[in-house]
Structure 1
Amino acid sequence: MRILLTATLAVLAASSARAEVVDSSSGGFATHDSAVVAADRRAVWDALIHPEGWWTHTWSDSSANLSLDARAGGCFCETLPNTAGWGEGSVEHMRIITVMPGSVLRMAGALGPLQSEGLAGTLTVTLEDVDTGTRISWDYVAGGQARFPADRIAPVVDRVQSEFLAALVAHVGGPVE
């Protein structure tokens, strides 16, 4: 099964930009998205580690409240403004677990509404040089126990992951035509 999933992901990474659910079961799911941009890897990396410039779906409705400490153990976090008089709040979106500058950023955490469930998630963003620029591969895998079937939430999460990649792609100049 692991070999089949690895082979499937490799084939998908080599194809043009598209998104799809690559695995779905009662205990979890995996999504894969990829795109090729004309920007070089340095520009894409610099944008990737500054999500305040492009990330969507925040708790505060403002990506300006985001920060990412690009080192193992660092936090991809969000500050929540003091709007109710109780003081400033915060959200840890993900914890950084792997940083290979210019190549791989891997973070662990259940995003958005998945945080309230017994789920673990891992997002791996991989950058590689291609003839026309940089290929960005975006893989999110989640598993664990939830109060809803994984196969029902998987397409929604896939759509949101696609939106994240599309926002990054737009931020660095758009896809290769």
Structure 2
Amino acid sequence: MLVTLAAPCHAEVVNVSPSGFLIKQDITVNLPPDLAYKTLVSDIGGWWNSEHTFSGNAKNMSIDAHAGGCFCEKLPNGGSVQHLAVVYVVPGKVLRMTGAMGPMQGSGLAGSMTWQITTVPGATADKPASKMEVTYSVGGYMQGGFDKMAPAVNGMLAEQLGRLKNFANTGKVD
């Protein structure tokens, strides 16, 4: 189990082209898939880094995990941000959302982020382990291209997955 706690997430920019990019990352957590999914969806304010929010506080983040739901953030004075729209949900297994996150919202982009959660082979009820894999593909027009944006998005997601892994395994992000 210590290997699971210490191992970093696997993060990779799979492809960058003039029309978009694809990122693929995964982590292993010491939870069964249903609890890994619950941590992803219900506890985002506990593991997401507040530095990657518009409000400066990750506690303002939420995921309404049903088709038509929202990965959203509350802003002061009744404002809000839709980071991604929820389009496909199989609780404990798959969460798919669409949209362009953060600074990419101002460009003509479409994106698809899919979280796939599976039981790690050999995991038991006494020693649960789940693989949480996320892919994020973004395409469209972005002034300046995708060469610099893809590594930045990959780094931001890798940081979030590292925090999610620590939070799921220890209850703390650090």
When normalised by structure 2's length, the TM-score is 0.84
Whether 1:75 aligns to 2:65 is no
Structure 2 unmatched ranges of 5 or more: 1-7, 124-128
- Aligned equivalents of 1:18, 1:69: Cα separation in 2: 27
| CA contact 1:138–1:165 (8 Å) conserved in 2 | no
Shift in Å, 1:150: 0.8
Shift in Å, 1:17: 3.7
| CA contact 2:9–2:162 (8 Å) conserved in 1 | no
Whether 1:39 aligns to 2:31 is yes
Map 1:1-177 → 2, pairs under 5 A: 17-50=9-42, 51-56=44-49, 57-82=52-77, 88-130=78-120, 131-132=122-123, 133-173=129-169
Runs of 4+ that moved beyond 2 A: none
| RMSD over equivalenced CA pairs, Å | 1.3
Structure 1 unmatched ranges of 5 or more: 1-15, 83-87
Whichever residue aligns with residue 107 of structure 1, its letter is M
- Name the stretch that deviates more: 91-100 or 51-60: 51-60
2:153 counterpart SS class: helix
When normalised by structure 1's length, the TM-score is 0.83
Whichever residue aligns with residue 67 of structure 1, its letter is S
Shift in Å, 1:19: 0.8
| CA contact 2:9–2:161 (8 Å) conserved in 1 | no
Map of 1:13 onto structure 2: none
| CA contact 1:37–1:172 (8 Å) conserved in 2 | yes
